[in-house]
Structure 1
Amino acid sequence: MATATRTAAPTLIGSVQRALRLLESAGSHPDGAPAKQLAREAGLPLPTAYHLLRTLTHEGYLRREKGVFVLGDAVDRLVRGEALQNRRSKIVHSIGHWRDVIGAPVYFAVYHEGEIDLVSVADSPAAPTAYEWADLRETAHAHAIGQCLLSQLDEESRLDHLDRHPVRPRTPHSVPDRSTLLERLGSLGRMEPVVERQEYALGTVCAAVPVALGSTAGAVAISVPLHQQDRLLPAVEWLHREIDSLLTAGIVSISI
């Protein structure tokens, strides 16, 4: 049994290596190349190349057009995913710096596949996060992060979210109903910061700044205790300027 395992592993790895060589070769020909040319450039026997090309085409990594092979949509998705992850990483690195400057916890969230995704939080013993007493995904209408993300969605996506997560007041200060929330979101500018005071949790005030990551809506937010609410607006104005500088520098994309 052990011998069979040792024998199979190199074959599997070799197949992956050969497939990658074919992809690299195909990528060097923007207008496509025939199987014989790709096999020759990848140093593969033609029958092996045909087998791998069929597999790569079936999985969407290649596309056959008029007898030549070109890179497929799956490769584009990989490239876009890597670019998005790089942009996210740069923002995550930044929020630690913003926490230290502002002296408040900083949150980074995105709207992904129809839900709120809290990607990263930078806090400290001196600047603890707000208590998450209700699921952030189900209470987007009640906190600054959620309202900021919803404000960046198109109307259809926004209504779909509220169909799945109905508006229910969480505190006496929460938005009372769906129509009031939609009116509030509609009054916001496309990339305008959002401020909420005790709508999600009593004793806490929050603000969020929109960040567009390609086609993904994102938000960077801060929270402070109610007795420190005078700090909130100056802090979020400073944060907004910082994020604008990242956008200007091209570290994050502003296209939605």
Structure 2
Amino acid sequence: MLIWRFPFDPHEHQHRSVNVKQNPVVSNSATPLYQKVKEHVASLIGSGALSPGDRVPSEHELVARFQVSRMTANRALRELTAEGWVIRVPGLGSFVAPARQTATMLEIPDMVETALGRGARHRVETITSATKPASSAIALAFGMRAGISLFHGRWRHLADRLPLQVEDRWTLPHLAPDRPAPGTPEPVAPYEQMDHSLRAALPPPDIAGLLALPPQSPCLHLTRRTRLGGQVSTVAEFWMPGDQIILTGISRPKA
């Protein structure tokens, strides 16, 4: 069993077809506008141009700079807030967040156990596996400059033919295995601390395709960051169909 901040227990969805083609990873030319706005703000934080407590560009300023809708600017700031980089204060604006502390609270099964629980075989399909330059947002998560070379892998987890999860992970190159086993994701790099956050979100088109989801189907988006020796070692995100996830847990009053 893996320890996560939020639990989930996927259940079979009988009405969703999974006989679809595997979509390619979206290219840079197809980057959504909100992602470009998000990476601009992320680069300001990552470069040190903005420090904890500093005000970040407002929705109005981002709309004027990028010629996008207010909804697009709002989504960029909302996602940075959900990921813990920005704090939004009603009536005052958005500010660079201070360092946060996270706590491990609940327990969830991993994808292998989920598949076995369905009486199915767990399978993993490799979508991409290569070392390449990181975007501003990814570099920010590692506390590094944009363009730093990192190992990037994306995998699809299935129970027989049913997609359960898309895993997208960035790893420091020296911690990534030289020869990954065919058809399996790289094991998690060594770590001393693991942080998680969870939110509901609509998946990008390529993720929706890999999960065999119809348009506008919500997912649970789980992000994970590990640290080793004070340095971020991996940054990963996991997309799971929202209609298969149940959050559960046990709590007791403090003594």
TM-score by length of 1: 0.25
Structure number having the greater helix percentage: 1
Structure number having the greater strand percentage: 2
Structure label with greater radius of gyration = 1
TM-score by length of 2: 0.25
